[in-house]
Structure 1
């Protein structure tokens, strides 16, 4: 284990807080040629899983259908820790890396609950607004089950 992982691990509470407040994460999938494909995504953390919404078709959806293994990452960079020597400049941050498996959600009720959580997170002034059924059905929702999660910080 890296020195910083031993010395600077985020607690479960800190990981939950970061997953709840960060607006953007990065989802990595594997494409048909075996290359990683990473895209920034809006997400919500709900009942111990990561949920991502978007179009119901596209490369990340195709990649997940072919290979369920994914990596998800998010971080918060607080700023630089400056020093007199360039090699001693550092970064104050918190970061999370998750390895897991992803599936495309078809269950209408779960999709509606997830989309309502996303509305509440990104547009809280619209929370409680009823979404049309066709919008819920027509939105792709990815569920990432967390198999391994590491969080670290430096300050």
Structure 2
């Protein structure tokens, strides 16, 4: 696995630096996250978006997960994403912690996914996911409800990351814009 932190992008030999457009006070500074910052975000959030693709058609779904270095375990139910992964195991998991439009972090994990079939590993993974997501319950499509009630097929996927990257806004003074009234941090929805 290649951990990309502090500005090294896969395939380049240059260091990126935080960027700001001059003359525009609404622009924010963004920097590459360090490896320890990437891993800390993966450990604490527990909720993200899993992207798969088949026949050049992307498919993205929200999922619960747990990071157990170097692996990522995803809790989900059988469905389209599982079918796609059987054909094309390459996936992308995006995780974020958004406190405001000027205070956020985002991590991308690119890797290969497979369904966990070993009962001991499955139980261990489920326990890890439940620790990060104490109110965990499977997502259910209303049109599948009847068949789901008859046969609830929970799936644990194991992602072996090939690359982890992260970007975050640079901490500023107390002038950062807070969330508008009634808004919640997106990382707190789970």
Q: What TM-score do you get using the length of structure 2 for normalisation?
A: 0.63
Correspondence for 1:99: 110
- Distance (Å, rounded) in 2 between the aligned partners of 1:154 and 1:118: 27
- When residues 110 and 6 of structure 1 are mapped into structure 2, their CA distance, relative to the original with a 3 A threshold, is farther
Pairs within 5 Å for 1:1-16: 6-7=17-18, 8-16=31-39
**Out of 56, 62, 77, which is 1:40 matched to?**
62
Give the 3 Å change call, closer, same or farther, for CA 103–40 of structure 1 in structure 2: same
- Helix, strand or coil for the counterpart of 1:42? strand
Q: Which residue of 1 aligns with 2:53?
A: 30
Q: Distance in 2 between matches of 1:120 and 1:142?
A: 17
The structure with more helix, counted as a fraction of residues = 1
Matched position secondary structure for 1:14: helix
Question: Does residue 166 of structure 2 align to residue 151 of structure 1?
Answer: yes
- Unaligned ranges ≥5, structure 2: 1-8, 19-30, 136-152, 171-190
> How many residue pairs get matched?
130
Q: Deviations over 1:92-148 (max 9, x none)?
A: 211101111111110111000000111222228xxxxxxxxxxxxx53110111101
Paired with 2:111 and 2:46, the residues of 1 have a C-alpha distance of 20
Which of 74, 84, 99 is equivalent to 1:78? 99
Q: Match of 1:68? A: 89
Contact 1:100/1:144 (<8 A) preserved: yes
CA drift at 1:149: 0.9
Contact 1:4 1:152 in 2 (8 A): no
Select which of 36, 40, 44 maps to 1:21: 44
Partner of 2:146: none
Counterpart in the other structure of 1:52: 74
1:1-53 Cα distance to aligned partner (Å, 9 max, x none) = 5999543121111111111111320100013x420000010100013111111
